[in-house]
Amino acid sequence: MNRSILTTFLLALGLLWVLPVGSARADCLERPTESVPDFSLISCQDGSPQLGQVINTGVTKGIVKILQGADKTCDARIDLRYRIDCLRLYYLKVAANLPDTGDYLPIKQAMLDAAGKLDAIVTKYEDDMAPPLHLREGHKPLAKRLPPVRAVKDAFAETAAAEAAAVVKETELVIIRSGGDPARRTQAYTDVAAAVEDNLVVLRSA
């Protein structure tokens, strides 16, 4: 009898130890960041398996914020011929923040594919004589700088931007289609696709 009581007591202590950890892990997953995420992992990292593998609000909002960061950085404050490479860097940033397995993998693949196509456009029309830009995120004085942003030739800026816009539209459609199966991904993928569509604004000449 005494052994049974002791076993029950030890199990209760074990639950008290485990429950707070599980609660903290859930908070880590769901707490959205208040600022544009840095060039680092969106999900919290504590040595456990990657936490961004399953659809959750925090990771989805993190992806959308990165894409919104492109709208704030690659905007009309820089010349059109720099905006394609600027957008490419943000798509690489999204991909770098997502794991190689799980519910977000199709988004990561779409971002990598889009970044590759944007890189090909910039390379095709690149102006080797134009100095690269060293932009700060959101043009904020204390924000971290992006990697060097390349320019396309001025004479081909609108042509390159039109080609880049086609890539963005294609990427939006790929993400929407990928969100239908399994159905739990639909809302998150719709939110990300909408943010990708908003990126078209940076490719307009005005």
Q: In this predicted model, what pLDDT tens digit does every residue of 137-147 receive, in sequence order? A: 999 999 999 99
Look at the chain and report how many structural domains it folds into: 1
pLDDT average, residue stretch 155-162: 98
Residue 196 lies in a domain: yes
CA 54 – CA 138 distance, rounded (Å):
29
pTM tops 0.85: no
| Side chain identity, residue 159 | T
First to last CA, the chain: 82
Q: What pLDDT was estimated at residue 2?
A: 53
Residue 184's pLDDT band (boundaries 50, 70, 90)? confident
Q: For the segment 73-123, what is each residue's pLDDT rounded down to a tens digit?
A: 999 999 999 999 999 999 999 999 999 999 999 999 999 999 999 999 999
Q: What pLDDT was estimated at residue 146?
A: 94
Residue 3 lies in a domain: no
Contacts of 191 (CB under 8 A, 6+ apart): 60, 64
Residue 4's pLDDT band (boundaries 50, 70, 90)? low
pLDDT value at 69 more than 60:
yes
Residue 161 lies in a domain: yes
User: Burial of 100 by CB count in 10 Å (0-12 exposed, 13-18 middle, 19+ buried)?
Assistant: exposed
Q: 172 is in which domain, residue-wise?
A: 54-203
Residue 82 lies in a domain: yes
| Side chain identity, residue 186 | T
Residue 205's pLDDT band (boundaries 50, 70, 90)? confident
Q: For the segment 23-61, what is each residue's pLDDT rounded down to a tens digit?
A: 323 333 333 333 333 434 443 343 333 446 789 999 999
Pick the residue with more confidence: 10 or 90? 90
Q: What pLDDT was estimated at residue 178?
A: 93
CA 151 – CA 81 distance, rounded (Å):
5
Q: How many residues does the chain have?
A: 206
Residue 165 lies in a domain: yes
Residue 8 lies in a domain: no
Residue 178 lies in a domain: yes
Q: What pLDDT was estimated at residue 155?
A: 97
Mean pLDDT of the chain: 81
Residue 7 lies in a domain: no
pLDDT value at 10 more than 70:
no
